[in-house]
Amino acid sequence: MGRINKSDLSNDKKSKKNKLYVTFSLVSNLLILFFFKYYNFFNDSFIEVSHFLGFEAHGSRFNVLLPVGISFYTFQALSYTLDVYRGKINPELHFGRYALFVSFFPQLVAGPIERSANLLPQFRQVKKFDYNRVKDGLLLMLWGFFQKMVIADRLAVLVDTVYNEPGNYEGVQLILATVFFAFQILCDFSGYSDIAIGAAKVLGFDLMKNFDRPYFSKSIKEFWRRWHISLSTWFRDYLYFPLGGNRVSKIKFYRNIMIVFLVSGLWHGANWTFVVWGGLHGLYLVLGEISQNIKQTIQPRIAHNTFSYKLFRVVINFSLVTFAWIFFRANSLKDSFYIIENLFVNNFSKLFGEELYMLGLDKHDFNIAVLSICVLLFVHYLQRNLSLLNWLSRQWLPIRWGAYLGFIFIILIFGFYGNQEKIQFIYFQF
């Protein structure tokens, strides 16, 4: 018989200990998230199903305050644990650095969901004042404030007016509110991400990019490479790939897509509206994959490099994404279905009447909202091949500082200042 290698026994014990630690860490983090965010949702759903099936079921509700940013905090902590377990990074032995990683204040409450391999090493580096870094960080924060204060908070007034009482509206009013919400959530979340990334940059830290002009996407797959990048890549690395990704049979491939997006929808909120929203995006992607052969047959006959064809695809994709936003924003599935049923009622005359300015925004604020969306799209269009920050930094000093000060005054003058509860960042609730 061969001799037992003591080092092998030691490594085996260490491996078992690591698996036990990882399991405990995963379960404890997920249980905390479940209790605070999903217990009442599943409890209420079970009671409703039991009543539908004809028997009585009762459960106690817990009225607890949801910790701000619990979903972001949990996913960031989980990514560290899984990366250590997979051997992608070494365990962080300094408790202060680990605590700083999971509670780094610029991105704690709404992301980006940072990776340990990117952020942890930066905490070991000595930081020195860098004028260009501070300047770039402050300018990025300014762009974030513009998106949030000038666009998102103003659009929120009209969106809330219509979506909180959808039964009072129809047709063009519902279409307008839905399109406005598409830009509200983009500017609200992208604005926060830019403020967080900019603040971290001022402090000497580089966070990952979270948005990349998502409404210029020409497909749903491309949209999810540009929208909430830190979350979509998290689900890709820690759920989609472990399920097998696309290296499985077609049926399992489609199953994997649906699982990822259903879980993503549930991650966003404890409501069936979010689950339907996620499922709809999963369905978009599955249908897109199924129709690949048809696309490959048709596209060679189309001049797909022309501007008109690209614009057509962008408009179609934006329409699909915006339609799905109905479920994301509606207060209930009942409201969602009412909005969809009444979306195309013929009342387009109201688009040009005074009733257009009776949806919460007066004529002045409505015009500013439309103009600011146009500015946003124009900037996104320019960013295809041009870094505006780099371009501005090369200009003559009076022009640079004139642009800086002018932008500050635009935010101060045209920023929308309303009820503090109504202008909270949307993703704070997640």
Domain for residue 7, yes or no?
no
Q: Report the candidate in 217, 211, 213, 216 with the shortest Cα–Cα distance to residue 190.
A: 211
Please report the pLDDT score of residue 351 as a whole number.
Answer: 65
My answer on whether 274 and 310 are in the same domain is yes
My answer on whether 77 and 174 are in the same domain is no
Domain for residue 6, yes or no?
no
My answer on whether 355 and 286 are in the same domain is yes
My answer on whether 345 and 393 are in the same domain is yes
Indicate whether 356 pLDDT > 60: yes
My answer on whether 207 and 324 are in the same domain is yes
Domain for residue 4, yes or no?
no
Question: CB-hemisphere CA count at 13 Å for 122?
Answer: 18
My answer on whether 311 and 296 are in the same domain is yes
If one counts the domains in the chain, the total is 2
User: What mean pLDDT do residues 350-355 have?
Assistant: 68
> Which residue would you say has higher pLDDT here, 394 or 236?
236
Lowest-pLDDT range of 97-106, 195-204, 347-356, 391-400: 347-356
Please report the pLDDT score of residue 59 as a whole number.
Answer: 65
**CA distances, 125 to each of 26, 142, 181, 205 (Å):** 29, 27, 41, 10
* Segment 192-228, tens digit of pLDDT: 999 999 999 999 999 999 999 999 999 999 999 999 9
User: Quick check: helix, strand or coil at residue 170?
Assistant: coil
My answer on whether 287 and 377 are in the same domain is yes
> Which residue would you say has higher pLDDT here, 345 or 280?
280
Which domain, by its residues, includes 236?
131-429
Domain final residue pick, 78, 102, 124? 124
* Segment 243-254, tens digit of pLDDT: 998 899 999 999
Question: CB-hemisphere CA count at 13 Å for 312?
Answer: 8
Contacts of 359 (CB under 8 A, 6+ apart): 158, 161, 162, 169, 173, 176, 177
How long is the chain? 430
Domain for residue 359, yes or no?
yes
Please report the pLDDT score of residue 358 as a whole number.
Answer: 78
Top-ranked range on mean pLDDT: pick from 23-27, 64-68, 212-216: 212-216
Lowest-pLDDT range of 147-161, 363-377, 383-397: 383-397
My answer on whether 195 and 334 are in the same domain is yes
* Segment 161-174, tens digit of pLDDT: 999 999 989 888 99
- Give the dihedral of Cα atoms 323, 327, 331, 335; nearest 10 deg: 70
My answer on whether 82 and 206 are in the same domain is no
Domain for residue 157, yes or no?
yes
User: What mean pLDDT do residues 405-429 have?
Assistant: 77
Domain final residue pick, 93, 124, 155? 124
Name the pLDDT band for 9 (thresholds 50, 70, 90): very low
**DSSP-assigned letters across all residues of 233-266:** HHHIIIIIHHHTTTSS-HHHHHHHHHHHHHHHHH
* Segment 298-321, tens digit of pLDDT: 666 666 678 888 899 999 999 999
Domain for residue 417, yes or no?
yes
Please report the pLDDT score of residue 319 as a whole number.
Answer: 96
Domain for residue 351, yes or no?
yes
Domain final residue pick, 90, 124, 158? 124
> Which residue would you say has higher pLDDT here, 16 or 98?
98
The fraction of the chain above a pLDDT of 70, given in percent, is 85
Domain for residue 80, yes or no?
yes
Query: Which among 51, 58, 228, 268 is annotated as catalytic?
Result: 268
My answer on whether 197 and 345 are in the same domain is yes
Please report the pLDDT score of residue 51 as a whole number.
Answer: 65
User: What mean pLDDT do residues 35-59 have?
Assistant: 70
Please report the pLDDT score of residue 220 as a whole number.
Answer: 95
Name the pLDDT band for 13 (thresholds 50, 70, 90): low
**CA distances, 209 to each of 73, 118, 193, 201, 233 (Å):** 18, 12, 8, 12, 11
How does the average pLDDT of the chain come out, rounded? 84
My answer on whether 44 and 166 are in the same domain is no
* Segment 405-414, tens digit of pLDDT: 988 999 999 9
* Residue 268 is among the residues annotated as catalytic for this protein: yes
My answer on whether 327 and 357 are in the same domain is yes
